[in-house]
Amino acid sequence: MSFERFIAGRFMPRSKDGGGFSGPLSVIAVASIALGVVVMVMAVCILRGFQGEIANKVVGFGSHLTVSNFASNPLYQETPVIVDSTLISKIKGVPGVRHLQFFATKGGMVKTPEQIYGIMLRGLSSNYDTTFFANCLIEGTLPKATTDVLISSTIASRMHLAVGDKMRTYFWGGDTYRSRAFTVSGIYNTDLTEFDELYVIGDLRQVQRLNDWDSNMVGGYEILVNDFDRLNAVAFNVLGVLPYDYSLQTIVEANPALFSWLDLLNSNITLILFIMSLVCAVAIVSALLIMIFEKGRTIGLLKALGANNASVRRIFLIKASRLILEGILIGDAIALALCYVQLRWSVVKLDAASYSMTHVPVDLNATTFVVISVATLAVCLLALLLPAAYISHISPAKTIKSE
């Protein structure tokens, strides 16, 4: 064990500081650092969880990438794209592509004896990944027959529909309308008002029949990617294999306002991290300065016995570093416990109408804890360099004589 570590281990134990200020201030410094770490970790975990939850819900309705036809239609009817096996193989071969599925949409009106309500029928292919809708199902089952549909709790409440009810729907096509009687097989709820108020989930073949399409015609391809962070890179590669008359849109481009709002939340995270890092640095710097002022005679004695300024500074830095590590570990433990409780039992609830979710989401990620802990340690150690430099100005003769 080095000389500095040995002295630091015996130096200023908080239980024996007598009437000095360094002992209580050390406790306050540890508590401040722990509190700062808790706030930073919780802020990042909650905001990342919120961003991830909203993004997952939007992607559940529209996938990561959508391939459609460039052509537009004045009757607001989709121009179909052809299911081309060669093109599909090329898209699936693009690195980062996880799954490809088909969809088509058709606007219509649901009519009951009481009222009429406008909806958008979203027809899904047989290979469609319905995991998202299965997780959002609150009653009934996913559609099994071609006449089965999944409606939101919002539509079910407004139209007074329940599982098993017949839902008469009218679709405009050409110069006339077409009527379909669907069976409500299940009710879902995503808490995303703009989607829950609009979409009815059904079978792709129903939309094909309503539009007089062949079985190889669909409204578009939906592409799921492995890594959302590489969305633009995958989109660029997929665009390279598409025909000239096909367009590609990412989920971010389809919902610019929503994702801009989610990106704006990052500025809140940055502000919180800056403020709490400043609190941690001020707390440990205050504690170290009080230690130096109170132990001036000890510093002078160590210098008189042959210790140089670097050795004395190292003693105080080792002592302060232990306080920092103690605060970080306590803060991490508290934050981990709070995150786990919220993740397991959803203790803190939210208003679904305002936040699009019923409880505070938490993204419990080990990387968050490691990065914040290391960053806090680095900031606090850098902040200690200034008060530690004061030690070189302490004169052994003056401090020993004044005592």
In a domain? residue 249: no
In a domain, 62, yes or no: no
Q: Are residues 232 and 269 in the same domain?
A: no
Indicate the residue among 244, 272, 287 that finishes a domain.
244
Looking at residue 92, its pLDDT comes to 96
Q: Rounded to 5 degrees, what angle do the CA atoms 269, 275, 276 make? A: 90
pLDDT along the chain (403 residues), means of 10: 71 51 78 94 94 92 92 67 95 97 94 91 96 95 96 95 96 84 96 93 95 94 95 96 94 92 87 92 88 77 76 84 93 96 94 88 95 94 84 65 52
User: Is residue 185 a contact partner of residue 144, using CB atoms and an 8 Å limit?
Assistant: yes
Confidence at residue 73, expressed as pLDDT on a 0 to 100 scale: 56
Residues 110 and 221 placed together within one structural domain of the fold: yes
Q: Strand pairing of 97-111 and 116-124?
A: antiparallel
Distance CA 293, CA 22 (A): 9
What is the span of the domain harbouring residue 174? Answer: 71-244
The structure tokens listed for 253 are 């481009």
Assigned domain for 65 exists: no
- Interatomic CA distance for residues 22 and 13, integer angstroms: 10
Of 244, 270, 293, which marks where a domain is finished? Answer: 244
Domain boundary among 244, 277, 311: 244
Is the same domain home to 208 and 268? no
Phi/psi region, residue 224 (left: phi>0; alpha: psi -120 to 50; beta: rest), is beta
| 240, 267: one domain | no
Token pair for 137: 């199902």
Instruction: Give the CB-side neighbour count of residue 29, counting CA atoms within 13 A.
Output: 28
Residue 3 to residue 198: CA distance in whole angstroms: 73
310 plus 335 within the same structural domain:
yes
Report the pLDDT value the prediction gives residue 370, as an integer from 0 to 100: 96
Residues 287 and 347 in one domain: yes
Q: What is the pLDDT of residue 21?
A: 56
Instruction: Indicate whether 46 and 122 sit together in one domain.
Output: no
Q: 392 and 327 in one domain?
A: yes
Q: Which two tokens stand for residue 298?
A: 């000890």
Structural domain contains residue 164: yes
Alpha carbon distance 350, 344 (integer Å): 16
In this structure, is residue 283 part of a structural domain? yes
Is 146 within the bounds of a domain?
yes
Q: Does residue 251 belong to any structural domain of this protein?
A: no
On whether both 267 and 398 belong to a single domain, the answer is yes
Helix (H, G, I), strand (E, B) or coil at 157: helix
Are 234 and 265 in the same domain? no
Number of domains in the chain: 2
Q: What is the pLDDT of residue 18?
A: 46
Could you tell me if residue 254 is inside a domain? no
